[in-house]
Structure 1
Amino acid sequence: MSTTLIIGGSSGIGLATAVRLAALGDTVHIAGRNADTLSGVKATHPALEVHVLDANGAGAVSALLAELGTVDRLIVTLSGNKGAGPLADLDLAVLRTAFDEKFWPTLTVVKAAVPHLSQSGSVTLVGAITARAGMPGTAGIGALNAAIEALVAPLAAELAPIRVNAVSPGYVDTPWWNMIPDGDREGLFDQIAAGLPTKRIATADDVAQVLVLLSTNPNITGTVIESDGGAHLTA
């Protein structure tokens, strides 16, 4: 039986991935900052083990990993919606906060996890299509996601035989969009979907399927898979 740790696994893509891996027989631990959210997840998905954790705290991350022992699959699904907008209007302090919420905790977790990963284990990260598509208004958030995805190739070479991969999602119906009122969000999704080759907005489970593939397939490493509905073709 494999042990999986998902950082940021209390909602959205992370939770969908946790549910899929638990169904495959993994012992799945999810960690997040909101205790109430984690309690709700535990009530709905009792097979999942939940941990309150601020991933920016290296000491707390190391303590959790020591408690778990050997980890076979580390999946980091931290997200954030700060840092978007035209460069002329971009608040650099907000962009720094975005890096503090996604890039630095991702790196903190991976660094702390290395001594605890099995030699046949995997590290799987989540970037975004803004890292690889030239969309106006995404220079800041695109740089953030590019920083995440840039970790993949060098770490795959450095940590081998531990495998390192990432998924690069596009438009996904997750709590990431909750800053937009429901009615407006539905209209925006309809507009975006009409311009995508797939003609649909992805679900969290669509991306979770890719994360499961990357974390379990022993022949994939150093790879970033686009799961964006073809957004990179039309951006």
Structure 2
Amino acid sequence: MSQRTALIVGGTSGIGLATARLLADRGAAVHVVGRTGRRISELAYTDSTSALTGHQADARDPDAIGAVLAAIGTVDWLVLSASGNKGVGPLKDLDPAVLRAAFDEKFWPHLTTLRAALPHLAPDGSITLVSAVTARTGMPGTSGVAAVNGAVEALVKPLAAELAPVRVNAVSPGVVDTPWWNAMPAPARAEYFAAAAAALPVRHVASPEEVAELVAVAATNANLTGTVLESDGGARLVSLG
């Protein structure tokens, strides 16, 4: 089989970067897209001996992401791991402008990239979206981010039918030790992680690499489509509020 090509949007940190490294280790030619030149430069330094190729582009910009896709050519495995940390808090305190910004950070990059990628996807290729456990739980203070992630997950089934035989899936992670949490002061973050680990059935906070294993399955398994795979350590079964 010829070498497969993967494109990871939001692939310069966290789950996206872990997925990129995993697929590269398994022999794929892996391209990653990030919004900032600094992260692309850091990636070139830290992954200089790997098969990762970095591209700076804003996934909300159809021309920018289209130029990346045109440069790559055919994409076998498209992984959309664009993230954002806006939209958290009680509904009564949630500014509608902040919620719009939350959709702009995550949902629109997913949809814009999907549309731009359609002419470049291999006929037996795949699309894997990364949502979050908030889309399928009832944690107080998460209605905003739940709406964003729920919108991402709502794309899966209709697109799996519409784009067949291209496969479309999503992975729904829970609490993962990624830069998503960096806005929280380190002591508060450590305290929350300790409490979450104690409450989770798996008794630990996930690493990006653990979630990346499931993203790789969704991307590469030829018999999987129209499915949201949960990699939340059982967060949906307990209260983390």
TM-score range with shorter-chain normalisation?
Answer: over 0.9
Spell out, residue by residue over 1:183-215, the C-alpha distance to the aligned partner (whole angstroms, 9 max, x if none). 221111001111111110000001100000000
Determine if the alignment matches structure 1 residue 95 to structure 2 residue 114: no
Give ranges in structure 1 of 5+ residues lacking alignment: none
Determine if the alignment matches structure 1 residue 23 to structure 2 residue 22: no
Deviates more, 1:38-47 or 1:135-144: 38-47
Determine if the alignment matches structure 1 residue 191 to structure 2 residue 195: yes
1:161 — aligned with what? 165
Paired letter, 1:179: A
Identity %: 57
Determine if the alignment matches structure 1 residue 56 to structure 2 residue 21: no
Runs of 4+ with deviation above 3 angstroms: none
**Aligned runs of 1:132-147 on 2, under 5 Å?**
132-147=136-151
2:42 — aligned with what? 40
- Report the Cα offset of residue 36 of structure 1: 1.1
Quote the Cα distance in structure 2 between the aligned partners of 1:89 and 1:101.
20
Quote the Cα distance in structure 2 between the aligned partners of 1:168 and 1:79.
13
CA-atom RMSD in angstroms: 0.7
Give ranges in structure 2 of 5+ residues lacking alignment: none
2:9 — aligned with what? 7
- Report the Cα offset of residue 38 of structure 1: 1.1
Quote the Cα distance in structure 1 between the aligned partners of 2:134 and 2:66.
31
The alignment covers a number of residue pairs equal to 235
Quote the Cα distance in structure 1 between the aligned partners of 2:204 and 2:172.
17
Match of 1:75 among 64, 75, 79: 79
Paired letter, 2:25: A
Quote the Cα distance in structure 1 between the aligned partners of 2:44 and 2:23.
15
Q: TM-score, normalised by structure 2?
A: 0.96
Quote the Cα distance in structure 2 between the aligned partners of 1:181 and 1:134.
25
- Report the Cα offset of residue 148 of structure 1: 0.2
